[in-house]
């Protein structure tokens, strides 16, 4: 995919929504790649013993999956120059798996830097799981 042109984007443009599945196998693979072996992400009994309803996705996996949606829209992951968020709720991953829904809206465009600022919304079911989520993308 080629990089998105600055001239083809307008304030108010919407990205997605895109559904991103997450399974327990996803969590095991992410734990191995990241080194985050916290049992709340893989051990159902442990997660429940600390008050969680089930295992939960890593917050950084959720952020990474959300930023990947923005990167695909931009046409090149290297064009995402900033991505920031607050983690507001966990993504619960039962045995049958779960999914997040990611969308974004172009909030501002800077013609001098050819950058777009996007407000990103990530939800799991009815719950917004990332708050104050913004991406800055350098467009072609």
Q: Is cis: bond before 17, omega within 30 of 0?
A: yes
pLDDT digits 0-9 by tens, 118-138: 999 999 999 999 999 999 999
- Reference 61, options 129, 136, 132; nearest CA is 129
Domain boundaries, the chain: 6-138
Given pLDDT bands bounded at 50, 70 and 90, which one contains residue 1?
A: low
Instruction: Please give the pLDDT value at position 2.
Output: 81
Sign of CA dihedral 43, 23, 133, 84: positive
Instruction: Please give the pLDDT value at position 83.
Output: 98
Average of per-residue pLDDT values in the chain: 97
Question: For 39-61, what is the mean pLDDT?
Answer: 98
pTM, entire model: 0.95
Domain 6-138 CATH class label: alpha beta
């Amino acid at each position: 995919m080629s990089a998105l042109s600055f001239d083809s984007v307008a304030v108010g443009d919407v990205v997605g929504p895109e559904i991103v599945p997450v399974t327990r196998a996803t969590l095991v693979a992410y734990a191995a790649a990241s080194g985050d072996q916290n049992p709340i992400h893989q051990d159902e009994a442990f997660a429940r013993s600390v008050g969680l309803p089930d295992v939960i996705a890593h917050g950084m996996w959720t952020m990474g999956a959300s930023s990947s949606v923005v990167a695909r829209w931009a046409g090149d992951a290297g064009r995402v120059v900033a991505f920031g968020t607050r983690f507001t709720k966990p993504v619960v991953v039962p045995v049958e798996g779960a999914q997040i829904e990611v969308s974004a809206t172009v909030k501002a465009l800077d013609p001098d830097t050819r950058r777009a600022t996007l407000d990103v919304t990530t939800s799991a079911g009815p719950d917004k799981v990332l708050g104050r989520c913004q991406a800055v993308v350098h467009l072609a």
